Structure 1
Amino acid sequence: MIRFELFLILLVCALFSWSPALAQGVVEPPLPWKVKLISGETLKGTISKWDFKGIDGSFGHAPWTNFKPDDANRMCKKLLDWRLASQYIQLARMLFTLQDADKLAEAALADAIRRDRNCANEVVALRAEVAEHRRKVIEDRRIAAEKEFQAKAVGADTAKKKDNAPKKKNNAPKEKDDAPIAQPARVISDAPRAQPWSVATDAERAQALTDMKADADRWLKQVNLRYSVVDAKYWVLYADLPIGETKDLAQRMDDMYETVAKMFALPVGLNIFHGKAVVIVSATEAHYRALEMAAYNSMPPPGAIGLCHMVGPKVVVSAYKSQDANRFMATLVHEASHGFMHRYGSPARLPSWADEGYAEYVAAESFANSTTKDDRKPQGLQWIRSGTNNVLNVLHMNYEDGSWPGPDAIGYAIGYLTVDYLVQTNHQAFGEWVKDVKAGIPWEEALKKRFGWSVTQLAQAVKARYRARD
């Protein structure tokens, strides 16, 4: 009897040790299987060979990625050696590559640890490997999208492509001796192309952000101030305000960024800043001026409640919260828009009237109760309707020779009206004009290319548009 019982025990052990897959490889005898694939097709036949990449059989080869996670997990468990923790770790590795199979993969890792507690380090290593792989996939996609955007933002090959933007009638007054322009010229400029911003890796972006935060912390320490900090999606906001108000302001800044990004058809969620942009908001003018001196060794111009500093790839916006909340927000958006445009495509700068005019336009369109329309527009209309002023003079003003912004800062008002007019005339052409300028094409040449107008014609068109109409 004892011998018979011993025989049964040995037989059971033999049966359990026998498996069609003590290791990866041949399945003997072949295992029949019928299952519906992700594609909806049905796979039917016998499995004769397998590994953690897929199966082979009478149906040919089928990778595990073709199967629903539950089906792949169930069949692998039939094929693997259930005694070996290493087999479950490999099963988890495969499941991590399938969509929505993380719970199954973690269950396989738990099975591995139950079989051998000494494999815990391998489990930790696998999780780290999977996390790094997924991070790299996301990084590669972001870099590819950013490079594609950079190529478009600096007008790459735009002159060679057919322009499908809707054409509008050219209402600009004709200059003397100017031939009528039926269509905007489509020629390839021989102007040297601007160098686009380099596309940073995740590590480079993280380091840039660390450096910029260190700068801000150092400036605050120099003037003995401690501000609350909120890391938003596109900005790092330092503010001498209640934390709730700081968070609300950070959200409004993110909303503003996405509004501007939409205007220029950026891929959703694309962050064009060098890591992020830094925004420092002080509760008082005294603190604001002290920080400006500590950071840039200069004092803000009289009446300025905000400034944008663009140093290489870095963008820092500094402002103080004036008593007029709407004016403060309009200023903050205006200055932040400069930072956005600085990082758009390349460091090439728009002409002064457009650089400031577009910032005013964004401030006017980004949020309700903006003071821009109430302040700039009436000033510009009055100036044009006086009959003694020439818009062309404003279009020729610039930062370099000190002529900007002109008497009573009229450049801001006329710049705003000019940008508003161009956007209303053909918003797609305006976007392409910006890309051309950022690509290094002289703005006057780009204006002719996209709108068919000379600078004089643009000045006359703006004057004609606003002389009798608001």
Structure 2
Amino acid sequence: MSAVKLFAIFACGGIPTVAPTEIGVVMITGDTVRGPLLDARDGVFVLEVDGFPTAISYDQLEPESAYRARTAILEVQRGPADGWSAADRFELGRFCLRRNQEGLARRHFATAMGRDVAYRDRVDATMAEYRAGRSARAAENDAEDKDENVDARRANGGASRDTGEGTDTGGGMDGAVGAESKPRAAWPDAASSATAEAVIAGYKEVGERLRARVGTDIRLLETARFLIWTDWAKSEHADLERWCEQMYAVVAERFGLRADASVFAGKCPVFCLRSKKRFGEVAGALDRYDVSNALGYTISEPNGHVHVVVCRLGGSEAGRDVFASTLVHELSHAFLHRYRSARRVPLWLNEGLANVVAEDVLGDRCFNAEAAEAGARAFAGRDLALGEGFWKADSLDARYYPIAHSVVAYLIGRDGDAFRGLVDDVKKGVAPADALNARFGMSYDGLESAWRGAHR
């Protein structure tokens, strides 16, 4: 009998009835996390890490680690692997394909068909869809690689591209924008069209210098509100444009802005990269930013300039969805920084809203809501307090993001107009605690108590 079976048995999706199983995982950022298993749902599970219930999505893990965690949890939920049903094996095969683990997927599909021949048609259809997607992406990437090689030779007179230290872009996206055109106020004090055009031209100048240094395969996509520099395949450009504009539409509606209103100075610069190496090159050139444990970041300047840099790790379906969630999350930060004023909002509100927006935009492709619900349930059922370390934090550990998401979702569900007023008040300079009391009639302690009650 396995160690997992010896230590814990609990019903599917339920809480362990005896000492919980220890699970160790490796995040896609490289961080390692270990702790007793408290709960498990379809796409997320909860570990107790340093006494804190930490909700984790399988998509946040390295593929091999995700597979090991999923099978360990299945053994807790279902018992030894030889007793798993055909449905369990089929779903595990789909889980593997989502991470481009084709060999493992075929093994589980074969077992599923061996236990129930009715699964053959479903397996064939699933594999055909997977292969078609892989072939299309491979063909597009081959074409992109050829274009990149030609561009690189042209840019360097036939020599290979130098990726070493070079001329800096000028200290961020505002480096090429003249002082006279730097934005000093955010919406609703709209800049003149001439100022907006000057700011956009400055951003494009920085982008061109970046392309010359990092690689001419980086192309500029321009939408109504965004300047998107990317080395993604052309077939994926429409997705990038759609995610950016959908984020804007969702947040603008949340805050009651006109459809034609823009909070940005000209347009918001966004860099979408397809490898960690390229991510590091762009982040180093633009911001001297260390991306060791990051998938994306937002730079928000006191003068109102913002820009976002995000990378995708691998070409799997899971990798794309994590990228999309990160992109929308970071763009939400950029929007909120520019909204009404450059005053900062509390981190619990900022991170929580960013997670809510990613879920609103991406729906089932994003596990933020599931993680928030699982994390909130586990937290509310334990003798823990959020305290000032949560409400007034200068930095917020990522394990608190699902909790922040849950708190923000609770406030929005209670009164969406009051939530908008809360953000507006903070942006006008009202202390967050005072704004919360004015709009919801509660203190931080009162909010925590009400929120806990909603998740017990």
TM-score tier by shorter-chain length is: 0.5 to 0.7
Asked if residue 374 in structure 1 is aligned to residue 370 in structure 2, the reply is yes
Q: Per-residue CA shift, 1:273-329, capped at 9, x if unaligned?
A: 110001111110110011111111121251x21111112322211111234211111
Q: Which residue of 2 aligns with 1:261?
A: 252
Asked if residue 384 in structure 1 is aligned to residue 372 in structure 2, the reply is no
Of 413, 421, 424, the residue aligned with 1:424 is 413
User: Cα–Cα, structure 1 residues 398 and 216, in superposed 2: closer, same or farther, change >3 Å?
Assistant: farther
User: Cα–Cα, structure 1 residues 286 and 380, in superposed 2: closer, same or farther, change >3 Å?
Assistant: farther
Q: Is contact 1:384–1:391 with CA below 8 Å preserved after alignment?
A: no
Q: Secondary structure at the match of 1:367?
A: helix
Q: Which residue of 2 aligns with 1:335?
A: 330
CA offset at residue 364 of structure 1?
Answer: 1.2
Q: Secondary structure at the match of 1:416?
A: helix
CA offset at residue 435 of structure 1?
Answer: 0.4
Q: Is contact 2:187–2:262 with CA below 8 Å preserved after alignment?
A: no
Measure the CA separation in 1 of the matches of 2:216 and 2:384: 47
Task: In structure 2, list runs of 5 or more residues that go unmatched.
Answer: 1-184
Of 207, 232, 236, the residue aligned with 1:241 is 232
Aligned residue pairs, count: 266
Measure the CA separation in 2 of the matches of 1:351 and 1:345: 15
Q: Is contact 1:234–1:276 with CA below 8 Å preserved after alignment?
A: yes
Measure the CA separation in 2 of the matches of 1:287 and 1:381: 39
Q: Is contact 2:243–2:328 with CA below 8 Å preserved after alignment?
A: no
User: Cα–Cα, structure 1 residues 394 and 301, in superposed 2: closer, same or farther, change >3 Å?
Assistant: farther
Q: Secondary structure at the match of 1:307?
A: strand
Measure the CA separation in 2 of the matches of 1:428 and 1:352: 20
CA offset at residue 454 of structure 1?
Answer: 1.1
Q: Is contact 1:237–1:280 with CA below 8 Å preserved after alignment?
A: yes
Measure the CA separation in 1 of the matches of 2:337 and 2:380: 30
Q: Secondary structure at the match of 2:387?
A: helix
Q: Is contact 2:352–2:403 with CA below 8 Å preserved after alignment?
A: yes
Q: Which residue of 1 aligns with 2:299?
A: 309
CA offset at residue 247 of structure 1?
Answer: 2.8
Which amino acid in structure 2 is aligned with residue 357 of structure 1? G
Q: Which residue of 2 aligns with 1:443?
A: 432
Measure the CA separation in 2 of the matches of 1:355 and 1:346: 14
Mapping for residues 254-293 of structure 1, pairs under 5 Å: 254-293=245-284
CA offset at residue 383 of structure 1?
Answer: 2.8
Asked if residue 251 in structure 1 is aligned to residue 242 in structure 2, the reply is yes
Mapping for residues 21-420 of structure 1, pairs under 5 Å: 198-302=189-293, 304-311=294-301, 312-323=303-314, 324-368=319-363, 369-385=365-381, 387-399=382-394, 404-406=395-397, 409-420=398-409
Q: Per-residue CA shift, 1:138-174, capped at 9, x if unaligned?
A: xxxxxxxxxxxxxxxxxxxxxxxxxxxxxxxxxxxxx
User: Cα–Cα, structure 1 residues 313 and 197, in superposed 2: closer, same or farther, change >3 Å?
Assistant: farther
Measure the CA separation in 1 of the matches of 2:251 and 2:408: 14
Q: Is contact 2:186–2:263 with CA below 8 Å preserved after alignment?
A: no
User: Cα–Cα, structure 1 residues 286 and 457, in superposed 2: closer, same or farther, change >3 Å?
Assistant: same
User: Cα–Cα, structure 1 residues 449 and 199, in superposed 2: closer, same or farther, change >3 Å?
Assistant: same
Percent identity between the two aligned chains: 25
CA offset at residue 232 of structure 1?
Answer: 0.6
Q: Which residue of 2 aligns with 1:29?
A: none
Which amino acid in structure 1 is aligned with residue 367 of structure 2? T
Measure the CA separation in 2 of the matches of 1:355 and 1:282: 24
Measure the CA separation in 2 of the matches of 1:263 and 1:428: 9
User: Cα–Cα, structure 1 residues 240 and 456, in superposed 2: closer, same or farther, change >3 Å?
Assistant: same
Q: Is contact 1:274–1:313 with CA below 8 Å preserved after alignment?
A: yes
Q: Secondary structure at the match of 2:224?
A: coil
Q: Is contact 2:187–2:264 with CA below 8 Å preserved after alignment?
A: no
Q: Per-residue CA shift, 1:50-102, capped at 9, x if unaligned?
A: xxxxxxxxxxxxxxxxxxxxxxxxxxxxxxxxxxxxxxxxxxxxxxxxxxxxx
Q: Secondary structure at the match of 1:309?
A: strand
CA offset at residue 269 of structure 1?
Answer: 1.8
Which amino acid in structure 2 is aligned with residue 307 of structure 1? Y
- Considering only CA atoms, is the larger Rg found in Structure 1 or Structure 2? 1
CA offset at residue 412 of structure 1?
Answer: 0.9
Measure the CA separation in 1 of the matches of 2:350 and 2:304: 17
Asked if residue 462 in structure 1 is aligned to residue 447 in structure 2, the reply is no
Q: Is contact 1:433–1:446 with CA below 8 Å preserved after alignment?
A: yes
CA offset at residue 242 of structure 1?
Answer: 1.6
Measure the CA separation in 2 of the matches of 1:215 and 1:370: 32
Measure the CA separation in 2 of the matches of 1:394 and 1:330: 26
Q: Secondary structure at the match of 1:391?
A: coil
Q: Structure 1 length normalisation: TM-score?
A: 0.54
Root-mean-square deviation (CA, aligned residues, Å) is 1.9
Measure the CA separation in 2 of the matches of 1:195 and 1:230: 24
Q: Per-residue CA shift, 1:209-233, capped at 9, x if unaligned?
A: 0111112222332224531211111
Q: Is contact 2:251–2:357 with CA below 8 Å preserved after alignment?
A: yes
